[in-house]
Amino acid sequence: MVAPILVDEHPLDALIRADRMPHIWCPGCGIGVVMRCYAHAIQLLGDDADRHVVVSGIGCSGRVAGYMNLDSYHTTHGRAIPFAVGLKLANPDLHVTVFSGDGDLAAIGGNHLIHAARRNIDLTVICTNNFNYGMTGGQSGPTTPPGARTSTTPYGCRELPFNLANLLSAAGANFVSRWTSLHVRQVRKDILYAFRKPGFSFIEVLVPCPIGFGRLNHLADAIDEIKLYRERCEIAKGVELEQLGIDLHGDQPIYVGRFVDRNAPCYEPVRLEEPA
């Protein structure tokens, strides 16, 4: 048993709501790691944190809006992006980040996701992908890999999952990347990059969900999933977007990296006059 390391203060204290701790996430969950990357990126950007707003939907990742010490909006299931669109267009000076999960963003919110990317609206979307609906107890979702067992696919998943990188690229996002919660530096760097980049940025981060997903898929210990990432992740170089799908049970690589980085014009509303 390793003793916990206790410290009086932490460099990110100002950006985390200590009075909301302890968090609800399970041991081994990767969402907190990604939230830390987000907080660190805000700190590295160096501008006033009062200008940062986080919007989330429903689910485990949705709780990030409650834990970040920012103006934070925990909205309805799937609607974080259109809420964020209204916020951003009503006050373009804000850095608006949507932090949510794969089920929230790609299933119930899938239509909003592709349309916001199509408009290339200036938002940063961080999508933690744990291949299932964790909060409701591990049901299959739009990213559940073929064959994976969940509480609603007890005989194995018979559907094909979204290849989110390919989807977002086709929809028109300016920036699309994928990492895992093992790739802390890359995640942090890409969030910072997305803050600075005009247009729609989508950062997918694969995270372990040992309780909801792992238990039924030979990944009951989060470390096993992290090991799997270390063994099979490969930086995508010259890989077609169509080849970026994820199959946990196969032996082909899990591709990570920056897949799309372009400078298409981002959405600007027509303004014939300055706001009053």
Partner 1 sequence: MTRPAVLTGSHFMHGDHACAEGALAAGCTFFGGYPITPSTEIAERLAERLPEVGGVFMQMEDEMASMASILGASAAGARAMTATSGPGFSLMMENLGLGVMMELPCVLVNVQRGSPSTGLPTLPGQSDIMQARWGSHGDYGIAAYSPWSPQELFDLTVHAFNVADRFRIPVLLMADEVVGHMVERVVIPEAASIVRWDRKRPNGKSPHEFLPFRADEDDLVPPMAYAGEGYRLHFTGLTHDEKGYPDMSAETHQTLVTRLVEKVRRNAAELIRTETYFMDDAQIVVISFGSTARSALRAVREAREMGIKAGFLRLVSVWPFPVETLCEIDQSAQAYIVPEMNLGQLITEVERHVRKPVVGVNHAGGEMMPPDSILAAIREVN
Cα separation of the two ends of the chain: 62
Q: Which is nearer to partner 1, 238 or 269 (CB)?
A: 269
Contact between 45 and partner 1 by CB under 8 A: the answer reads no
Q: Is 216 exposed, middle or buried (0-12, 13-18, 19+ CB in 10 A)?
A: middle
Size of the residue set binding partner 1 (CB under 8 A)? 43
Contact between 89 and partner 1 by CB under 8 A: the answer reads yes
Query: At a CB cut-off of 8 Å and minimum separation 6, what does 21 contact?
Result: 67
Window 90 to 119, contacts with partner 1 (CB under 8 A)? 90-91, 93-94, 111-112, 115
Q: Which is nearer to partner 1, 193 or 267 (CB)?
A: 267
Other beta carbons within 10 Å of 197: 18
- Among 189, 200, 20, CA closest to 119: 200
Query: CA 16, CA 13: separation in Å to the nearest integer?
Result: 5
- Among 251, 252, 262, 257, CA closest to 237: 257
Return the HEC string of 59-124: CCHHHHHHHECCEEEECCCCCHHHHHHHHHHHCCCCEEEEEEEHHHHHHHCHHHHHHHHHHCCCCE
CB of residue 228 vs partner 1: minimum separation in angstroms? 33
CB of residue 212 vs partner 1: minimum separation in angstroms? 20
Q: Which is nearer to partner 1, 4 or 22 (CB)?
A: 22
Q: Which is nearer to partner 1, 19 or 240 (CB)?
A: 19
Instruction: Out of 28, 30, 59, 78, name the contact with partner 1 by CB under 8 A.
Output: 78
Contact between 120 and partner 1 by CB under 8 A: the answer reads no
CB of residue 44 vs partner 1: minimum separation in angstroms? 19
Query: CA 112, CA 76: separation in Å to the nearest integer?
Result: 13
Q: Which tokens go with 37?
A: 């990357």
Angle ∠(151,30,214) on CA atoms, nearest 5? 30
Q: Which is nearer to partner 1, 57 or 245 (CB)?
A: 57
Contact between 269 and partner 1 by CB under 8 A: the answer reads yes
Window 14 to 33, contacts with partner 1 (CB under 8 A)? 17, 19-20
Contact between 184 and partner 1 by CB under 8 A: the answer reads no
Contact between 157 and partner 1 by CB under 8 A: the answer reads no
Please tell me what DSSP assigns to residue 246: -
Candidates 80-88, 129-137, 175-183, 236-244: pick the segment binding partner 1 (CB under 8 A).
80-88
Q: Which is nearer to partner 1, 14 or 264 (CB)?
A: 14
Window 46 to 65, contacts with partner 1 (CB under 8 A)? 50-51, 53, 55, 65
Q: Evaluate whether 77 touches 133 at the Cβ level (below 8 Å).
A: no
CB of residue 161 vs partner 1: minimum separation in angstroms? 22
E strand or H helix that includes residue 175: strand 175-180
Residues in touch with partner 1 (CB under 8 A)? 17, 19-20, 50-51, 53, 55, 65-66, 69-76, 78-79, 81-91, 93-94, 111-112, 115, 269-276
